[in-house]
Structure 1
């Protein structure tokens, strides 16, 4: 198991959530809350990940691809902070056990990682009030997309690499890519296992970049999953 920054080790089912080549940049746990179920927040070079231990000893996860994060707001507290992470579809996660220093570390690491991977700069607005303390707001610009991620796996075939596209070309190019290349190959039963895996990766990148809706993502993903020998 990999050592984390809190001095413990990351559970196996959390390690299995990582992509090949994905690197954790910041790992924090609620170790100060003795006797409570374990909670872990991780910022990697590709996304933000949140894990909560359930009654079975396994972990429920909430995963935020950078392109699907809308805002992250940090509120300073007397003992612990409040961190609110909101996705582009309005879904929100509240984290209330980080210290102020830890929450600041998460948001600064996230801003740096999103800027490294993204096509547009992510802003961080800081305000300070005598009565309510500090408030930091990380805001993703509307034209933010993530670049193709480098990893240790074999390179995908050029025709299946997810494109970085301007907004006005997204829908047309997405339809062309999947209907002509992927859907055609699935229908003709021409895919080997490696190609299926490559297509699933490309499909996920398009979904994370908000080029595909969830309905489109599920529609294209199902016939690919049926091709896998699992």
Structure 2
């Protein structure tokens, strides 16, 4: 059995995982014995998130941008359901502590959120068997992409802090400047005064952040690549 979890009662390290402006639509946690480690599944307006408490009291997370979800299937049992989330790499996440009606609600919320943010409609196939109960299958079309996300970047917390290489060293390590910035952030021609350079940097950085986020949500960049490219830009923002 699960229960809805109000945002104020969620652990802080889970709240820190949310993007700025990201809204939870369906949040449930397991209600097993007190000695059992807490598990939480969240469908937000931008992605699906699964958290499992570890031995240190912190939470291990599995995060799915909508474009990364290949399918979601739930099998109805006599009382509880088995929910399987498969990503585009073929990895499967199995959740067995939801009741049937809870799994239905979560799957319907996921379908609605994916359709709201996506460029193609996600289908939900329902089949009923005399022997095994209902099976609901959410399938993403091959041309599914997500629109520009509603926020530029996750909140800056310790979990996102990583070493930032100077610009010259970054070029030497990668061999060349990433094409993303060559295409999306063209330099201004002609002499630039210090005041003009500051204004240009702010506008350029914001455009690059939006472009990066779009590539990440569409599963073009890995999370590691996204963070590596994003952090030097955030350092340039006047915030």
Question: For residues 79 and 35 of structure 1, do their structure 2 counterparts lie closer, same or farther at Cα, with a shift above 3 Å needed?
Answer: farther
Q: In the alignment, is residue 98 of structure 1 matched against residue 98 of structure 2?
A: yes
Per-residue deviation at 1:192? 4.5
Q: CA offsets, 1:87-108, max 9 Å, x none? A: 1111211111111111111100
Specify the alignment match of 1:70 in structure 2. 70
CA distance in structure 1 between the aligned counterparts of 2:116 and 2:229, rounded to whole angstroms: 34
Per-residue deviation at 1:34? 3.1
Determine which of 206, 217, 222 is the counterpart of 1:208: 217
Specify the alignment match of 1:5 in structure 2. 4
CA distance in structure 2 between the aligned counterparts of 1:150 and 1:6, rounded to whole angstroms: 23
Q: CA offsets, 1:87-132, max 9 Å, x none? A: 1111211111111111111100000111111111100000111111
Question: For residues 17 and 120 of structure 1, do their structure 2 counterparts lie closer, same or farther at Cα, with a shift above 3 Å needed?
Answer: same
Other structure's SS at 2:138 match: strand
Q: What are the within-5 Å matches in structure 2 for residues 123-202 of structure 1?
A: 123-151=123-151, 177-182=180-185, 192=201, 195-196=204-205, 199-202=208-211
Q: Between the two structures, name the one with larger relative contact order (CA 8 Å, sep ≥ 6).
A: 2
CA RMSD of aligned residues (A): 3.1
Q: CA offsets, 1:147-187, max 9 Å, x none? A: 1123498xxxxxxxxxxxxxxxxxxxxx86533334979xx
CA distance in structure 1 between the aligned counterparts of 2:11 and 2:127, rounded to whole angstroms: 37
Q: CA offsets, 1:32-51, max 9 Å, x none? A: 44321000000011111100
TM-score (norm. length: structure 2): 0.72
CA distance in structure 2 between the aligned counterparts of 1:223 and 1:144, rounded to whole angstroms: 25
Specify the alignment match of 2:231 in structure 1. 225
Gaps of at least 5 residues in structure 1 are 154-174
Per-residue deviation at 1:208? 2.1
Contact 1:193-1:229 within 8 A present in 2 as well: no
Other structure's SS at 2:9 match: coil
Question: For residues 76 and 224 of structure 1, do their structure 2 counterparts lie closer, same or farther at Cα, with a shift above 3 Å needed?
Answer: closer
**Number of aligned residue pairs:** 200
CA distance in structure 1 between the aligned counterparts of 2:101 and 2:33, rounded to whole angstroms: 16
